[in-house]
Chain A
Amino acid sequence: MRTGTVYTETVVHLAPTRFTADAPYQVAIVTLENGERLTARIAGERVAINDPVIEADAIEDIPFFRKS
């Protein structure tokens, strides 16, 4: 599982049609250990900038991370 830190994040309240059932949900840009960045959903506890995160199971090909 990949690990990284939160570069920035938001909690989405107004979702597009496809994701209205999920709202509110947290989206973050994660800086991975190799320096690459990835936009992912956050599972479980809310995270803040600079929090360490670890990849969780993807759901329907959507990458998820959680606080580590």
Chain B
Amino acid sequence: MTFGRQVRGREVAVIGAGKTPFGAFAGEDLRTLSVTAGRKALVNAGLEPSAIEAFYLGNFAGPEFTAQNHLAPWISTALGMTGIPSTRFEAACASSGSAFFHAFMAVASGIYDVVMVAGVEKMTCQPTPRVTEILAGAGDGSSEVRVGSTFPSLFAMIARRHMHDFGTTREHLSSVAVKNHENGALNPDAQMRKVITLEQAMNARPIAEPLNLYDCSLISDGAAAVILCAADRARSFTDKPIKVLGVAQASDYVALDRKPEITTFPALRAAAQQAYAMAGVAAKEIEFAELHDCFTIAEIVAMEDLGFVERGRGGFFSFEGGTRRDGPMPINASGGLKSKGHPVGATGVGQICDIIQQLRCEAGDRQLRRHSLGLAQNLGGSGATCVVTILGRD
């Protein structure tokens, strides 16, 4: 495929990918989870650890959840990768998307030929009110968090305004949860493999009104890893290289109350425009996507900001079945953060692994009919960081 791409620097491919299942794993820590995912990625690429020239780790709050810090060399040495630069990236729930973006630039620039990007989080070791407090650290502590805002409450306020401005309904929100649970039920690595009805989704206990339990993603442990390689060397490692056609990161205010409008994420729009331009594709050419559904409303806003639907129409499109696996724009065929799980620092690279699985036609019961061009969108906080990645078959 050729797209008339705007490429600066070298082209970059993914030559290996590996994930742990997402879930609650009492016997695992940040290091054992990361080592499992990293080894899978190495085996997938047919590489020894000594081939890796740099290690990029996405992790949001390992020190707060587990009291362990200095995570990147703690993990890279356990993978047998000694001596190489090993760095942790923190960008809330977009931590490993950001690590991926920076790893991409290091390979594209010619500094390294082969690097590993991993993401990891260990959350289930803390009680839910403490998890809520740690996650709130991704908001603005000087304003919204000090009055008692939580992450569900920030997205609840986005949902309220979206409903008010565009006529999005309770049913629209719940249709996102029902669809993602239906997909996740088919994913052996998903945390909650359970089909739910629209009635169940609409009537669950409230978390932050109008959002209820089934509007919220899960508290999870898990890790994911990919290996990036200069595209001109990729075929010497694998016969199924995946091209990174476009990737971009952008930022915005951390505090929701600083944004002129809260029903759109300017960082998402900026990252999407840059990624589309780099890949030389338009939104309508994307065949499937993994979107950051930390809350149901986030999937609705993301599909609008990415240009898959007009602004304000995301809820209607979802309710009409447009994002189902057999719809015109399949979204979160993996089950999404909602059903697959959301170990926040692992989510960005995890989404990229899910896209690769589809591109390689290895998604089993979830395999999509059109699977040559996919997009992953990873959001940090209530939109302060966004990373958009476009991947295609070589």
Contacts and interface: CB of A to CB of B under 8 A. Distances in A.
Given A16-B133, A17-B133, A11 B143 contact: no
B158 A8 contact: yes
Interface of A: 7-20, 22, 24-25, 27-29, 37-41, 49, 61-63
Which A-B residue pairs are the 8 nearest by beta carbons? A16-B133, A10-B156, A8-B157, A37-B257, A39-B144, A8-B161, A11-B209, A17-B129
Contacts of B150: 12, 14-16
Interface residues of B, number: 33
Contacts of A15: 129, 132, 148, 150
B77 interface: no
Contact of B147 (A9, A13, A20, A41): A41
A29 B148 contact: no
B227 interface: no
Given A10-B208, A16-B132, A19-B148, A39 B161 contact: no
A49 B161 contact: yes
A62 B208 contact: no
23 contacts: A7-B161, A7-B262, A8-B157, A8-B161, A10-B209, A11-B208, A12-B153, A13-B209, A14-B128, A14-B150, A15-B129, A15-B132, A15-B150, A17-B129, A17-B130, A17-B133, A27-B148, A38-B143, A39-B147, A41-B148, A62-B146, A62-B147, A62-B148
Contacts of A63: 147
B146 A61 contact: yes
Given A8-B161, A12-B148, 8 more contacts: A9-B160, A12-B149, A14-B150, A16-B129, A19-B148, A37-B258, A39-B255, A62-B146
B206 interface: yes
Interface string B120-134: 000000001110110
Nearest to A18: B133
Nearest to B127: A17
B296 to A, nearest CB: 14
A2 to B, nearest CB: 14
A19 to B, nearest CB: 4
Contacts of A18: 133, 148
A41 to B, nearest CB: 5
Interface string B163-189: 010000000000000000000000000
